[in-house]
Structure 1
């Protein structure tokens, strides 16, 4: 069996089993679900961005439910949180100092729900753990699980009670995944799925993978990212990355649909972390497609979601009658960068 996602076809048996099981609950978002699964295989974090009620939290919970032995965690972000609510803290007890761990410890897949409702001070407490996979609290190191990713959700169009994600936090993401409203056919399918009317539809998922499976699959993806990328493809990844950086000459060739330069519209982009993320994410897609080499098509399939996490549009892009979205810029780079 295989799953056709337009950009690529999932044929690797364990990946197919996982996605098929998840599709018992998820309607119409197989590609987005596959992208989150690719983040898990590539050992990277995902952000899910869309309107309320379109399945962001459910996708994260389905990923957790599909893995036997998965240590699940959840942080519901609210404005009055403190950094210690995330990291944990030490308290003095009758028997001495005692550490009370936060929700990031002893977790494999962490759902961080409505992340942009927390203050920048609280969000900064995530930075060390997301990148280095450990926390330092009162000078003591606390390691996270060897299998650890976070799936963040946010309603990015809201302003009341929300904060912008900091540049450093966004750059630690592997993918920033967006989608819109379901089609008429998908809405009809949602109506026909009685399981979706249950309070916890993810409880219907039968785990098809174990944490040991994920550990082995991550190892295979790392090998693909290391040995399965040709010199020409590495150069293509470099050119895509540099083209997103306003400080690089490659950037200057790209224009908006009405012929304007992007120079005043893009603040930054194209970090080394983006290049490595492209390589890892493309390797995860190649693995899911059952291939032993990473191809141009795999890089192109993940480029929009990876690039979105590593580009910051300027304020001028959001005003006037000729507004330009981050997706407009990403499309221009993808179309205008020659593929090997």
Structure 2
């Protein structure tokens, strides 16, 4: 594993017990300047995960609990009259940070969801004719509860498609939970991160390095074949758009970079495909009967799609 990534993952692991795969994929999303939707039940460490990442990098962290009465101005900020200066000034909203935890995004109204997703896509805020750039790096980790639906607003497929990855931490094992109890016995585990292991400039530099990872034409064709297969399948109502293939391409490069390689292999594509693609499709009734979930469908696709041979 890349030395810088190893230090970052190790720092986050001082707070988060286990879940190494989730930590690495979250870092991959950060390297690709993508955003993450974390679908999980309450209490499994979602807030601590993004807090640990921001503490490890030294970036500014904001958290907003989304409820039906949240306004778009809470997300984007607002302009107000400064009576002392006699002019309008901008007051920061929640998105003016490096790391934003948008808790229970599906509880916010569609108008607020749109304001957040616009900031995620454009990486800027425009108010009263003035554009305010968001800091770099900028990572949004939005969460939603997969079980509770009362009082929620379903995220439309067009908005789901804008999330780079969809992750799930899941419950810890028995041994992991015993370790969690030991860590929380005397103090908050976040205190285990006493100082950052890198800064935001280091992250920006790594983001540029990821763009130099080589991808052969055969691997590009493999990515496109995977995506195109979802558009001609009776098991799928809505196939994956080119945005999905671009996301898979970027995530594969990030994964190769994380494991200190200068080129992408089909295994890199396979490792991130479910997290990048599963939330972008809608299964037909036939597909739901056959596979149950989008994740199971993509896993089956990976087993059946021809894999290119890598020649060095």
User: Normalization by structure 2: what TM-score?
Assistant: 0.91
Equivalent residue number for residue 87 of structure 1 = 76
Q: Deviation string for 1:58-77 (max 9, x for gaps)? A: 11111111103x12222211
Equivalent residue number for residue 46 of structure 1 = 36
Equivalent residue number for residue 5 of structure 1 = none
Q: 1:133 to 1:275 in 2, by over 3 A?
A: same
Equivalent residue number for residue 6 of structure 1 = none
Q: For 1:287, what is the secondary structure of its paired residue? A: helix
| Partner Cα separation in structure 2 for residue 192 and residue 315 of structure 1 | 46
| Partner Cα separation in structure 2 for residue 110 and residue 314 of structure 1 | 34
Equivalent residue number for residue 234 of structure 1 = 220
Q: CA deviation at 1:317?
A: 6.4
Q: CA deviation at 1:146?
A: 3.0
Equivalent residue number for residue 282 of structure 1 = 252
Equivalent residue number for residue 273 of structure 1 = 243
Equivalent residue number for residue 210 of structure 2 = 221
| Partner Cα separation in structure 2 for residue 177 and residue 203 of structure 1 | 25
Q: CA deviation at 1:167?
A: 2.1
| Partner Cα separation in structure 1 for residue 286 and residue 148 of structure 2 | 19
2:64 equivalent to 1:96: no
| Partner Cα separation in structure 1 for residue 238 and residue 144 of structure 2 | 22
Q: For 2:211, what is the secondary structure of its paired residue? A: helix
User: Is 1:222–1:283's contact at 8 Å kept on the other side of the alignment?
Assistant: yes
- Report how many residues are paired: 305
| Partner Cα separation in structure 1 for residue 3 and residue 223 of structure 2 | 28
Equivalent residue number for residue 336 of structure 1 = 304
Q: For 1:52, what is the secondary structure of its paired residue? A: coil
Which of 147, 161, 178 lines up with 1:157 in the alignment? 147
User: Is 2:36–2:167's contact at 8 Å kept on the other side of the alignment?
Assistant: yes
User: Is 1:120–1:166's contact at 8 Å kept on the other side of the alignment?
Assistant: no
User: Is 2:64–2:94's contact at 8 Å kept on the other side of the alignment?
Assistant: yes
- Supply the RMSD in Å over aligned alpha carbons: 1.9
Q: CA deviation at 1:295?
A: 0.7
User: Is 1:57–1:153's contact at 8 Å kept on the other side of the alignment?
Assistant: no
Which of 202, 205, 210 lines up with 2:190 in the alignment? 202
Q: Deviation string for 1:294-313 (max 9, x for gaps)? A: 11110100000000232234
User: Is 1:73–1:110's contact at 8 Å kept on the other side of the alignment?
Assistant: yes
Equivalent residue number for residue 112 of structure 1 = 102
Which of 51, 61, 73 lines up with 1:72 in the alignment? 61
Q: CA deviation at 1:53?
A: 1.0
Equivalent residue number for residue 21 of structure 1 = 11
The runs of 5 or more residues in structure 2 that have no matched partner are: none
Q: For 1:126, what is the secondary structure of its paired residue? A: helix
